[in-house]
Amino acid sequence: MHGVLIIDKPAGLTSHDVVNRVRRILHERSVGHLGTLDPLATGVLPLVMGNMTRLAQFYTSSEKTYEGVIRFGFATDTYDAEGQPCTPPQAVQLSLEQVRQVAARFRGFIEQLPPPFSAKKIQGVPAYKLARKKTEFTLKPVQVEIKEFEISGVENDRASFRARVASGTYMRSVAHDMGRQLGCGAHLESLRRTGLAEFTLADARALDELENAAAKGSAEDLFVHPRKVLPEFPCITATEEMIMRIRSGRTVNLPELTRARRVKVFQGQRELIAIATRVAGTLFHPKIVVAGASS
């Protein structure tokens, strides 16, 4: 079973939990995800299956969009609502303008310290494993980009927000750092990923929906149409001669694609057989052969 499936991840499951459940539902061992979500977070979790796992390399730096709630008044050791408070709780009265002024400092390129409970690796070991063992370690700040960060409302000690960020950005760290700047402590109370690359909540399916479809033998109806994947690459439908060349790893001539750097090559309407890269002029080499393609 080869395809791309967008799951609306429920709270309480890790991304790996979702992958394991989809493996069981579809009886497909080759399943991977395109961007970890914390257990607390919900929303868009793209999965790639079968030969389509070869596309994962194109999503390593994908932009992401979020909606969420920051709670002010105390910080936690995990920077989210699942952690233990690490500052004394205090009553806060913040205005929308106050929070928006602080939020503005986080837009653009910033230096961000990842949360101690994160997948960032310290000498090959994920930080969260060291944090759980209370092993001392030092995380280094990294440069991240927050392209949009809007505070949509403030009510009592909570602020709702929307954000669009580059890969590697932790909204948990943003919440924690905002609390520190305001002097009252804060943590991320909830987070929902509304988009990753070209995938949005409109594409997302619940796990129960997938289970029901699989029971009826129609799970593949829930997959993203292959021509909608990687929309920045133009599509071309291969001739029989092109398919034979691609299957043997040889270049193909695509004179109609004079400007594209990469192109998706299809057999028929739905079967993605390769991602081809321009090597010279209108000659393209199959960088990734996704499917053997039947001729």
Distances (CA, A) of 106 to 116, 173, 179, 189: 20, 11, 13, 18
Handedness of CA 265, 267, 241, 295 (dihedral sign): positive
CA angle 160, 191, 10 (to 5 degrees): 140
3-state secondary structure (DSSP) of residue 217 = coil
Task: Provide the Cα torsion 51, 277, 248, 267; round to 10°.
Answer: 60
Classify 53 in phi/psi space as left (phi over 0), alpha (psi -120 to 50) or beta. Answer: alpha
Q: How many Å apart are CA 81 and CA 17, to the nearest integer?
A: 20
Distances (CA, A) of 175 to 78, 186, 190, 224: 11, 6, 11, 33
Percentages (nearest 5) of helix, strand, coil residues in the chain:
25, 35, 40
Q: Known catalytic residue: 8?
A: no
Other beta carbons within 10 angstroms of residue 152's beta carbon come to 11
Catalytic residue chosen out of the listed positions 8, 38, 80, 157? 38
Identify whether the C-beta of residue 159 lies closer than 8 Å to the C-beta of residue 70.
yes
Residues annotated as catalytic (active site), given as ranges: 38
